[in-house]
Amino acid sequence: MADILAALSQAFWLLVSFDADLMEIVWRSLSVTVSAVVIASLIGLPFGAWIAVRRFRFRRYVIAIINAFMGLPPVVVGLVVYILLSRSGPFGVLNLLFTPTAMVIAQVIIILPILISITHQSIRDLWANYHDLLISIGTSRWQRVVTLLFDARRALLTAVLAGFGRAIGEVGAIMIVGGNIDHVTRVLTTAIALETGKGDFSLALALGIVLIIIAVVLNLLIHTISKTEREGTW
């Protein structure tokens, strides 16, 4: 209990004093995760919509595999990305290992299945509704995807926020591909792991509290901007 109280006061002071190290780590956490979410959304949302709309022979298997990948342990993704980006690996020449870019790559891979899966399900339901209209009115396949994505945007926002949540709290993969290098690839989650390992529980908890506060603030901000709770259902 003492640890938690110490943590709360430590978190408070860190935030209020704009502790330089903390600000740096927070900024890095956000820029890595936001980049990963943006990139994964640009790939995953249209792809999820596309497989919802297109009929092809192996669709059922593709969907099953993507759903299964949601349960993939992030550490495994980290190991695979490490092997690929290692200097001894196929993409070693790119010199990406132990950089924030490598962390973004790992996080994109980790959250893609969630984004695709939720998008696919939402779009499928909407497509069932719009099907005859969109065909009758004369849309190209791409126009269908865009229309569905736009009209389903509230559900898609949920998908994106789910992806964000998964990425901001992830530690295993980015530890391996980022290396938790001080001032270079250290983020909130890896810092928490480090302090826990050193036995400094109250600092670790304080960082954890900061992480949760950031996640809550971001979520609130996004919901306010998109007025999700204001009007009725979409």
Partner 1 sequence: MRILALALSLSLVLISSFAVNAADTMRLAVTTSFHNSGLSDILIPAIKEDTGIEVQLLVVGTGQALKLGRQGDVDAVLVHSKKAEEQFINEGFGTRRTEIMYNDFVFIGPKADPAKLADVKQAQVALKSIAATKSPFVSRGDESGTHKRETSLWKGAGLDTETLDSSWYREVGAGMGAALNIASGMNAYILADRASWLNFKNKGSLALLSWGDPVLFNQYALLTLNAEKHPHIKSGLSKKLEAWLVSERAQKLIGTYEIDGQTLFVPNAKKVDAS
Partner 2 sequence: MVSTLLPIRLEEAVVSKRSKILVGPVSTSIDAGGPTMIIGPNGAGKTTLLRLIHGLERARRGQVVFAEPDINEVRRKQSFVFQKPIMLRRSALDNVIYPLSLRGVPKAEAKQSALAMIERVGLKGSEDTRATFLSGGEAQKLAIARALVTKPDLLLLDEPTASLDAQAMRDIEALIQQAVLDGVEIIMTTHDMGQARRLANNIIFLHEARLLENTEANLFWEKPQSDEARRFVDGEIV
Q: Does 197 bind partner 1 (CB under 8 A)?
A: yes
In angstroms, give the least distance from the CB of 127 to partner 2.
12
Which does residue 32 touch among partner 1, partner 2, none (CB within 5 to 8 A, set by kind)?
A: partner 1
Applying CB under 8 A, which of residues 13, 27, 142, 234 lies at the interface with partner 2?
Answer: 234
Site residues (CB under 8 A) for partner 2, limited to 15-44:
none
- Sole residue written with tokens 């070693």: 92
Q: Does 147 bind partner 1 (CB under 8 A)?
A: no
The single-letter DSSP state of residue 108 is H
Site residues (CB under 8 A) for partner 2, limited to 121-180:
126, 129-130, 132-133, 135-139, 143, 147, 151
Q: Does 46 bind partner 1 (CB under 8 A)?
A: no
Q: Could you give the string, one character per residue 156-175, with x where binding to partner 1 holds by CB under 8 A and - elsewhere?
A: --------------------
Task: From 63-71, 138-146, 147-155, 194-202, give the range in contact with partner 1 by CB under 8 A.
Answer: 194-202
Contact set with partner 2 (CB under 8 A) = 126, 129-130, 132-133, 135-139, 143, 147, 151, 232, 234
List interacting residues with partner 1 (CB under 8 A). Answer: 28, 31-32, 34-35, 38-39, 86-89, 92, 95-101, 104, 179-182, 184, 194, 196-201
